[in-house]
Amino acid sequence: MSAVVDLSVDGDIGVLTINSPPVNALSAAVRDGLAAGVAAAVADPAVKAIVLHCAGRTFIAGADISEFGGAMKGASLPAVQAAMEDCPKPIIAAIHGTALGGGLEVALTCHYRVAVPSAKLGLPEVKLGLLPGAGGTQRLPRLVGPEQALKMVTSGTPISAKAALASGLIDEIAPEDGLLEAAKAFARRPNLALVKVRDKQDKVEAARATAPEMFAQFRKDNARAMRGFEAPEANIKCIEAAVNLSFDEGMKVERDLFVPLMMGLQSKAQRYVFFAERQANKVEGLPADAAPLTIGSVGIIGAGTMGGGIAMNFLNAGVPVTIVEMKQEALDRGVATIRKNYENTAAKGRMTAADVEARMGLLTPTLDMEELSAADLVIEAVFETMEIKRDVFGKLDRIAKPGAILASNTSYLNVDEIADVTSRPGSVLGLHFFSPANVMRLLEVVRGAKTEPAVLATAMATAKKIGKVAVVAGVCHGFIGNRMLSSRQAEAMKLIVEGATPEQVDRVLYDFGWPMGPFQMSDLAGLDIGWSAEKSKGETIRDRLCEAGLRGQKNGRGFYDYDAQRNRTPSPVATQIILDYAAEKGVNRREVGDEEILERCLYPMVNEGALILAEGMAQRASDIDIVWINGYGWPVYRGGPMFWADSVGLAKVAERLTHYGYEVAPLLARLAAEEKSFTGQF
Ligand code: 3H9
């Protein structure tokens, strides 16, 4: 038969086994194998029913994303599905791991579905800027009802086997280690009808009368989350079609809406991000013997917002944490904040009270740094000055056991200078978490000059364990993210002096897809971060705002004034400070266009990214994109700054940078001249 699909016969049951690691995606070989396997099972008179299952870690996890955008080869998925749905012998899908996307769509063309309790089922296409294009939008609502289908296709979040059984998506839950036997037993049931999901009408018909309000409400409730994305609306339209049209008409709507998404830039960007995220965790050139060390316990120095957030990541992953503070009051406050965060989650029903206690039970608060002597990994999250960091690392060096990894959560400072105060710079690196550290997915792993390969490998593996997307950065001021952020912030400040307003700049970047603009961000972070009244020379706009008592959202006054509900209006005080500053500098204020704002805020970031890349501070352009998407809210459907610059065309980016007086980074200039791209996607 096929190399990836095998048919074996057990008595009167034909067992089709897909074996195409890593995730049994529906590649051309799998589609061809399935088509041949079903045909062979139908042709075999001994076979009365068929079980479809997968070898390895998971049921089919979807179409093979790496085939998208290329020429179509092999049997088409709809043809394979038609052969299955119209098969004269019942087919039972036996599901373990994840049945996702095209995988679930194949299961939906089986006549029955059984799954183990740990299985997850979903249609995550929206996360790739797509919609389920193999009948998923028409079959799913026929089983689970339009309302749940709508949630599933627009969020892309899979559901558990238990929820799948309750909603009608599967027919039975099988024992965790007895899936195949249970599926065969199901297949041997007498008089199994050939149930075609496409023919089920009750749930869609029942929803028809109230559907218009349901869809209107859904669009309203989710407008913010879906802003800027093309795929969610297309998914909604498909579910509407499932409710209002016949199956065949609905399939046509699905097809018509699928094709433009597949050809479009948003899905191209989101598919790129999918692979880029997985690529980021791989470190080029690590020797094979750089095996990750075991991290069984973690120490954290500093129980402030950052230290507490970092601690939660490990507690969530079941790793015991010892957290150290200098004063009892600060320690108590830090621990209370962690508890409050968990209790808030529990109040929303996303965690049980027992979970809260289990996590808090893993936390050991202490004022004594000596208690870090047994930790496998210690992360320092204290005040951001070199002096203090070096002091902490000097102490830590005396306390931590041999082989322990010592990490700094610094966001700008030179990790090598920190490492140098220790007797073991090979065990030191930066772990730059983003605030709030228990929420943000990004982790910049800063590789020092002497960081040992095994230490780096451990950091990458640990990041994965605690659910972070890790990106390796070299030692430079601000690493990848904050270094590029500085170039954007500097240009935004220039723009408001030249004549743009903070709200105009914020609006332009918001419309581009950012969650907020640079001035809203400054207000949120606090204008006085890193500012001190003693040292302020009143030289910058920021100095002057702070001197005037403007601190940002925390005191309701910043570039904007905030009311109790955090509604904002432009601050007359800030406006006057900006006007005075411009007058003092002799700037002739002018009207600045939206396009100029966008170009001047974003192209310098790309230019800085090119320098970072050329200096080897990032391993690859896609790593830079992953930093920006996961750490700063760059809209994922634009693929990150480097992908986006490629999509604009590097010649144009270089030309505009020159126009605005920038020196174009040599790498950018060369790629532009050679008509190449950073990411190889264009
Ligand atoms: C779709 O189905 C469209 C349909 O409607 C049909 C339309 C006609 N294709 O994530 P991991 C690779 S769209 C190709 O690290 P985990 C992945 O790159 C698809 N490759 O493992 C990685 O490779 P490498 C809808 C894929 O255990 C390796 O497998 N489906 C695919 O943490 C391991 O992946 C989805 O969107 C794929 N579909 O998580 C599901 N999936 O080792 C996407 C994975 O070289 N996949 N790879 O880096 C996932 O969500 C996760 O991979 C999964 C496993 C949960 C399955």
C-alpha–C-alpha distance, residues 351 and 263, integer Å? 40
| Any ligand 1 atom below 6 A from CB of 125 | yes
Provide mean pLDDT across the span 223-248: 98
Q: Report pLDDT for 584.
A: 96
Share of the chain above pLDDT 90, in %: 95
User: How many CB atoms within 10 Å of residue 416?
Assistant: 16
Q: Where does the pLDDT of residue 603 fall: very low under 50, low under 70, confident under 90, or very high at 90 and above?
A: very high
* pLDDT beyond 90 at 72: no
* pLDDT beyond 70 at 1: no
pLDDT tens digit string along 173-198? Answer: 999 999 999 999 999 999 999 999 99
Q: Where does the pLDDT of residue 577 fall: very low under 50, low under 70, confident under 90, or very high at 90 and above?
A: very high
Ligand 1 atom nearest residue 278's Cα = 48
Name the residue among 391, 400, 412, 459 with its Cα closest to residue 431. 459
| CA dist list (Å): 527 to 1, 407, 542, 560, 567 | 67, 28, 7, 11, 18
| Any ligand 1 atom below 6 A from CB of 98 | yes
Q: Is 467 left (phi over 0), alpha (psi -120 to 50) or beta?
A: left
The kind and range of the H/E element at 366 are strand 363-366
Ligand 1 atom nearest residue 279's Cα = 48
C-alpha–C-alpha distance, residues 646 and 667, integer Å? 13
Q: Is 132 left (phi over 0), alpha (psi -120 to 50) or beta?
A: beta
| Any ligand 1 atom below 6 A from CB of 77 | yes
pLDDT tens digit string along 14-68? Answer: 999 999 999 999 999 999 999 999 999 999 999 999 999 999 999 999 999 999 9
Q: Report pLDDT for 160.
A: 98
pLDDT tens digit string along 143-154? Answer: 999 999 999 999
pLDDT tens digit string along 564-573? Answer: 999 999 999 9
Question: Which residues belong to the active site?
Answer: 105, 125
Q: List the residue whose alpha carbon is closest to atom 43 of ligand 1.
A: 61
Q: Report pLDDT for 71.
A: 84
C-alpha–C-alpha distance, residues 172 and 165, integer Å? 7
Q: Return the best residue to mutate from 20, 23, 131 for the ligand 1 pocket (most ligand atoms within 8 A of CB).
A: 23
Q: If you measure from the C-alpha of residue 21 to the centroid of ligand 1, how many angstroms do you get, rounded to a whole number?
A: 11
Q: Report pLDDT for 384.
A: 87
Mean pLDDT across the chain: 96
* pLDDT beyond 80 at 315: yes
* pLDDT beyond 90 at 290: no
Q: If you measure from the C-alpha of residue 17 to the centroid of ligand 1, how many angstroms do you get, rounded to a whole number?
A: 19
Provide mean pLDDT across the span 401-415: 96
Helix, strand or coil for residue 88? coil
| Any ligand 1 atom below 6 A from CB of 280 | no
Q: Return the best residue to mutate from 65, 123, 157 for the ligand 1 pocket (most ligand atoms within 8 A of CB).
A: 65
- The pTM of this model reads 0.95
The secondary structure of residue 175, as a DSSP letter, is: P
User: How many CB atoms within 10 Å of residue 315?
Assistant: 22
Q: Where does the pLDDT of residue 529 fall: very low under 50, low under 70, confident under 90, or very high at 90 and above?
A: confident
Q: Report pLDDT for 69.
A: 80
C-alpha–C-alpha distance, residues 331 and 324, integer Å? 7
Name the residue among 354, 446, 366 with its Cα closest to residue 406. 446
Q: If you measure from the C-alpha of residue 455 to the centroid of ligand 1, how many angstroms do you get, rounded to a whole number?
A: 28
Name the residue among 131, 153, 130, 129 with its Cα closest to residue 141. 153
